[in-house]
Chain A
Amino acid sequence: MTEPHELTASEVARLIASGEATAEECVDSVIERIHAVERRVHAYITLDEEGARQKAKQIDQRIKERKPVGRLAGTVVAIKDNMCTQGTRTTCSSHMLESFIPPYDATAVERIKRADGVVIGKTNMDEFAMGTSTETSHFGPTYNPWDLTRVPGGSSGGSAAAVVCGETNLALGSDTGGSVRCPASFCSTVGLKPTYGLVSRYGLIAYANSLEQIGPLTKTVEDCATLLTVIAGHDERDCTTANLDVKDYTNHLKKPISKVRVGVVKELFGEGTHEGVAKTVMRGVDTLGELTSGYEEVSLPSLEYSLPAYYLIAMSEASSNLARYDGLRYGYRTPDESLEWGDTYSKTRMEGFGAEVRRRVILGSFALSAGYYDRYYLKALQVRTLVRRDFERAFSGFDVLVGPTMPLPPFKVGEKIKDPLELYMCDVDTVPVNLAGLPAISVPCGFFEGLPIGMQIIGRPFAEELILGVANAFEKSHRLEARSPPLR
């Protein structure tokens, strides 16, 4: 028999609802799996097995008493460690927040708990979500379950790895410049970056506010739709959330897509795209073409400038967002008591932040400085407008735009970490979507020499229903060599 940890969230929910299994059994199965593989994968920073078991027991009790339960009842959810969980430490993979215990739940976490999702723990990530490989974590890297010598992608690498090897049923990541889609692609899971403003950012520890969204990492598109339905919707604590009617994104998964117009974005297959990626994704595009009215190539010239624009905006915002970590109120503080406040701040931040975080804070501060603001930050905002317009133009002729999620297959741990620019380049296909605030999903598309490749499907603002529908049809028709890694 298949163990519950191998199942999708919807299958687990069905088992529990029909009484074939208890929530406790399902949760225990996941915990056992964690015990079996976690030492090799290192997906988690903090685990709360006891809390998860208790929550499972409560759910079973309620089911026994025929009381209503939420739609995630008994499914295990892992939370990226940059989302606040009341009473459970939230580190952002940083020495700075190693012992930070938030006094509140992020809105997305609160909604998951209310839907009776069982929060099992906090997943590893790049420090403050700054990275593409989960290697900048203060707690050490996460390893790709498909090949333990390789990175799982980042920054939500822990969440993607946990999902694909059964260490959880569902996971949340956050996507500032590809941080959900990149690990989804590298680990062969589904990963959605919702439209900016669809999911509340309240409780998401900010890296670059104007770019990021919380998104699901799941085994299937259906699970993705379920989790999105739970977390999406207006939140008065985040005034950048859109005030839209709440939808059930699972309702329209099977809507026919034969009339959907697919545009293949030329720039996403640009110079530097790995041949294996291009080939694998084109096979996926062929499948999509058969399911829809075919595809055509489309060009968005401004995408060429989106990478530098993205990094300028992200670093600028980060330099301000991360200013609050001074050791005064919470988090790490240098043990040196002899210093004046200014030097205490400097030393605390020097010791508390890793090299990549310091680099981005310094570059961002520079870009916002008087005399440089116009040349860098403002220029980047202009590019952002151009990118948005290019997408608008493309969407006048197409319903979805597709291309590779990542320009390359998962690389080796340690292979690129010493060259920041080379790492930044890996985000070239994901950042345009964040600049434009659009929804995009990465779906498993195949393998190149045993390494997962993801395909990215981009939609118009708030067209999550459509891209989920397309992704679902694709998932059902496109043949994959494997759905889960051969990790015992």
Chain B
Amino acid sequence: MERASEIIAATLATCGAALAAYSYWVLGSVPLVALGIGALIVAASIAATYREAPYSEAARALLEAYAVNVARVLEEFGASLKATYIKGGFVLAPLTNPSPDINGARLEHLISGSRGRYGLVLKAPRLEVEPGDPEAALTRVLVDTLGLCDNVRVVRTGDRVLVEIVKPREPVEARRFSEVLGPLSAHLAAAALAEALGGALQLEEIEREGKSIRVSLRVVEGVGEG
């Protein structure tokens, strides 16, 4: 992607300079000179624009370490059921089937639950999301800030929220992490959505289709319209 924008900038700069020079000295056409200069300005703008937010590489390195560590914890506890994302950045990874009730979950503890229904309480990275349009919130976090994917689409239907993450860049393949919490980009998306919608979302299905990941989240509790 980065390379593509560099190629576009270089092409625009070359064509713009050639068009402006040819139009000025040979054709004598003012509109075409303006068009060439316009292309040069666009090329300069593309070249000067940050492809990624500053420090996104450092953030990705931290997330990579986070995914590996959490995968080890999940492995150690034998968690394999899909997690529930709760407002406040909490994630409840069930350790038993049936999974623990999220209403009575003691989120300050590492293990929450009672009477044979237990879950592991994890804290997802704190993501600055404002309540409101969930697609805009995810785009800002995943695309603009972390550069973890090219595009995000979000639709809401009935008690489900569906997220399509286009061209995700997964820094690390932690199998247990993906199994329980979803791929890293889906995990962050689910945590951000729970925050943006203000409720609890259960990871239901993850499907890879071409260059996209489609995540289905079921609304478990108190999610507003967003």
Asked if chains A and B come from one complex, the reply is no
- Give me the interface of B with A, judged by CB distance under 8 Å: none
